[in-house]
Amino acid sequence: MEYRKLGKTGLSISKISLGASSLGAVFHDIDEAEAIRTVHTAIEYGVNFIDVSPYYGFTTAEILLGKALKTIPRDKYFLSTKIGRYGINGVKSWDYSAKRVELSLEESMRRLNVDYVDILHVHDIEFSDLNQVVTETIPALLKMKEKGMIGYVGITGLPIDKHKYLLDQLPDCTVDAILSFCHYCINDDSLADHIPFFKLKQTGIINASPLSMGLLTSRGAPDWHPASQRLRSLCSKAARHCADSGYPIEQLAVCFSVSNPEITTTLVSTASSSNIIKNIEWAGMPMNNELLAEVKEILKPVLRETWENS
């Protein structure tokens, strides 16, 4: 396993890491014992970073991850969770207030069976009042950092320009890491254009969703995917081309997403132990550059096409 430094934090993180959203059964039903086995397997194979949120499965992911972490020594992994986005009884909610921030962290730590988290992210900042995040949310996180409740401060969201706006509003070195999803994958590598900015700010980069939320899979995007029909159709065409070449598009996607050394880690989400092993193995394989070029040619009309978060 290759490990890379996360910005100025000093954390050395595996280049592929575990996103625990699948533990919340957000994509399909899961088996609890197998999900726990997946977490243990990831650690055994060298993964040392796990990301979760109280929003995933409306606390289900944190609860199940907490069960898995009970038997894993705390020094074997770095852990991040989030504040700001929640859900109760199937209803989404958002609260970025300072009061909710500290309560949220305390609730998360109880569910996760830990007494601190390495990174606490402000979740999906595009749903927030960005001025509130600057003047209230981030200062609340910094107070918890001073108390030793968290190690580092992060922000997440889909639109990269929101990350950049916040970093420009805050003193340098305030935000330790950003978590960007669906912007460093085969169909959209726009995150690459902004790496110099984040390096200048000394902010580490975490990438997520190398399969572009299911677009880059042999089974195709789920019905709820917000991508345009043209993007979905061309991704399906690319997947068929890879299959005809005897090379799964999922493997190509993972290889691509971990290939940039300026991006510390790429989160993959699964509740299957065999699948996490497969992803780890793919991350260690060389890129099939010829096939990548062919796939990018297929996707050329929709490269960097994005969508709104929901």
Task: Please tell me the distance from the alpha carbon of residue 248 to that of residue 71, in angstroms, as a whole number.
Answer: 34
Which of 56, 86, 96, 152 is catalytic? The answer is 56
Task: Please tell me the distance from the alpha carbon of residue 269 to that of residue 245, in angstroms, as a whole number.
Answer: 26
Residue with tokens 């061309």: 234
Residue 261 burial by CB count (10 A; 0-12/13-18/19+): exposed, middle or buried?
exposed
Catalytic site includes residue 56: yes
- Structure tokens of 83? 């504040």
Residue with tokens 């991850």: 65
What is the Cβ-side half-sphere exposure of residue 190, based on CA atoms within 13 angstroms? 16
Q: What is the CA radius of gyration of the chain?
A: 18
182 pairs with which residues across the strands? none
Residue 290 burial by CB count (10 A; 0-12/13-18/19+): exposed, middle or buried?
exposed
Task: Please tell me the distance from the alpha carbon of residue 300 to that of residue 174, in angstroms, as a whole number.
Answer: 37
Core vs surface per residue 214-240: b (16+ CB within 10 A) or e = bbbbeeebeeebebeeebbebbbebbe
Task: Please tell me the distance from the alpha carbon of residue 6 to that of residue 206, in angstroms, as a whole number.
Answer: 8
Q: Residue 6: which of 169, 157, 188, 198 has the closest Cα?
A: 198
Q: Which residues are catalytic?
A: 56
